[in-house]
């Protein structure tokens, strides 16, 4: 072998372990095997963080000036040590990229300053954080399960100013019941991101009934259906968890989540499923970037339009 153009010690190793003579002789699945993981792709099975950061970097590169301004107005985003990249001198993580895109979608279609908001299932509170940092919200109510509510309370207490935090009200799910505190309030906007798909159908229906009678707008951002592609995560939490997930939410059809036509077709069912009442008008809907199978929609009550 040529001494000038021969293999480096690294490729000597690869040729003996992954790009072997036997392996390159089989074309049947080499593009999803150890061969191609040395020729063209990083092995997706063990490079999740690399691919996540690459996705965040790509999304950050495409942010509009208005969305950069929204992002920069959100202080203390580094609390909790997220996976971040640096773009234009700014630390950027996936959660707050999604948050500014969601804020953009909502604020382009309704006035947010001076509103009272109800968020159902706020997670740790990033949407609340983003909205309070970008608008003069009058009151922000969060209803959630106990452990999640505790996390949101702690997180928002760490990232918001005292003035912002005074606008946030935390409610256990019992306060959504008849006679509960939430039944005494009126909201300009109700929000659900992701968690409707993880509730029982009856619970989702109950929340939609609450929204229909106590809110003027609904923003919902959730999956259009379920999937069973084991290659994505190897069902790492076990088949029992998969079966539980398949039984939750209103949209339980199995969908090819990486087929844009299949997702777009299922999005019509999404729009119908999350409409709180027949007199509620759809103001806008679109795929929720970056996830291939998430859809977002904003509805307005017929009463709000009168």
- Measured CA to CA, the distance from residue 30 to residue 25 in angstroms comes to 9
Question: Residue 270 — left, alpha, or beta (φ > 0 → left; ψ -120 to 50 → alpha)?
Answer: alpha
In this prediction, residue 5 has a pLDDT band, given cuts at 50, 70 and 90, of confident
Residues 6+ apart with CB under 8 A from 160: 129, 132, 168
Instruction: Give residue 130's pLDDT.
Output: 99
State the average pLDDT for the chain.
Answer: 97
Give the pLDDT confidence of 237-288 residue by residue, as tens digits: 999 999 999 999 999 999 999 999 999 999 999 999 999 999 999 999 999 9
SS3 82: coil
Q: Do the domain assignments include residue 52?
A: no
pLDDT surpasses 80 at 2:
no
Of 105, 208, 257, 221, which Cα lies nearest the Cα of 265? 257
Q: Do the domain assignments include residue 296?
A: yes
Residues 6+ apart with CB under 8 A from 180: 171, 174
Q: Do the domain assignments include residue 210?
A: yes
SS3 111: coil
Calculated CA dihedral for residues 34, 40, 41, 43, nearest 10 degrees = 20
Instruction: Give residue 217's pLDDT.
Output: 99
- Measured CA to CA, the distance from residue 175 to residue 181 in angstroms comes to 5
| Phi–psi pair at 191, nearest 5 degrees | -130, 135
Alpha helices in 108-218 (DSSP H): 126-134, 146-159, 162-165, 201-214
Give the pLDDT confidence of 168-186 residue by residue, as tens digits: 999 999 999 999 999 999 9
Residues 6+ apart with CB under 8 A from 292: 257, 258, 260, 263
Q: Do the domain assignments include residue 267?
A: yes
What residue numbers bound the domain in which 132 lies? 94-300
Q: Do the domain assignments include residue 17?
A: no
> To the nearest whole percent, how much of the chain has pLDDT over 70?
99
Give the pLDDT confidence of 97-121 residue by residue, as tens digits: 999 999 999 999 999 999 999 999 9
Instruction: Give residue 304's pLDDT.
Output: 78
Query: What burial class does residue 139 get, using C-beta atoms within 10 Å of its C-beta: 0-12 exposed, 13-18 middle, 19+ buried?
Result: middle
Query: What burial class does residue 61 get, using C-beta atoms within 10 Å of its C-beta: 0-12 exposed, 13-18 middle, 19+ buried?
Result: exposed
Q: Do the domain assignments include residue 161?
A: yes
Of 121, 138, 140, 277, which Cα lies nearest the Cα of 213? 277
Label residues 75-114 b or e (16+ Cβ within 10 Å = b).
eebeeeeeebbebeeeebbbbbbbbbbbbbbbbeebebee
Kind and range of the H or E run holding 140: strand 139-144
- Match 């039944």 to its residue by tokens: 183
- Measured CA to CA, the distance from residue 275 to residue 51 in angstroms comes to 35
- Measured CA to CA, the distance from residue 245 to residue 191 in angstroms comes to 22
- How many domains, in total, are found in the chain? 1
Bridge partner residues of 86 (DSSP): 91
| Phi–psi pair at 218, nearest 5 degrees | -135, 125
Q: Do the domain assignments include residue 193?
A: yes
Instruction: Give residue 1's pLDDT.
Output: 65
Q: Do the domain assignments include residue 266?
A: yes
CATH code where residue 103 lies: 3.40.50.150
Give the number of other CB atoms < 10 A from CB of residue 271: 15
Instruction: Give residue 303's pLDDT.
Output: 81
Instruction: Give residue 53's pLDDT.
Output: 99
């Amino acid at each position: 072998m040529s001494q000038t153009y021969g293999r480096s010690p690294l490729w000597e190793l690869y040729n003996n372990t992954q790009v072997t003579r036997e392996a390159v002789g089989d074309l049947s699945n080499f593009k999803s095997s150890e061969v191609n993981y040395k020729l063209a792709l990083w092995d997706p099975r063990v490079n999740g963080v690399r691919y996540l950061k690459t996705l965040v970097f790509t999304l950050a590169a495409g942010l509009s000036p208005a969305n950069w301004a929204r992002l920069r107005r959100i202080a203390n985003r580094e609390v909790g040590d997220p996976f971040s990249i640096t773009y234009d001198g700014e630390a950027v993580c996936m959660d707050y990229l999604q948050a500014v895109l969601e804020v953009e979608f909502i604020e382009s279609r309704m006035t947010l300053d001076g509103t009272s908001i109800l968020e159902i299932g706020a997670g740790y509170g990033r949407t609340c954080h983003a909205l309070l940092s970008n608008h003069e919200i009058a009151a922000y109510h969060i209803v959630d399960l106990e452990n999640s509510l505790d996390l949101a309370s702690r997180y928002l207490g760490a990232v918001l100013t005292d003035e912002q935090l005074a606008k946030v009200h935390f409610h256990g799910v019992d306060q959504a019941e008849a006679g509960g505190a939430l039944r005494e309030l009126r909201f300009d906007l109700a929000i659900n991101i992701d968690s409707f798909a993880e509730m029982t159908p009856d619970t989702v229906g109950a929340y939609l009934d609450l929204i229909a009678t106590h809110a003027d707008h609904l923003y919902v951002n959730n999956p259009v259906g379920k999937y069973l592609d084991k290659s994505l995560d190897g069902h790492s939490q076990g088949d029992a968890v998969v079966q539980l997930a398949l039984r939750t939410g209103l949209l339980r059809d199995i969908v090819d989540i990486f087929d844009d036509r299949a997702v777009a077709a299922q999005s019509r069912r999404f729009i119908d499923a999350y409409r709180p009442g027949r007199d509620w008008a759809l103001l806008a809907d679109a795929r929720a970037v970056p996830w291939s199978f998430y859809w977002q929609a904003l509805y307005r009550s017929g009463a709000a339009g009168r």
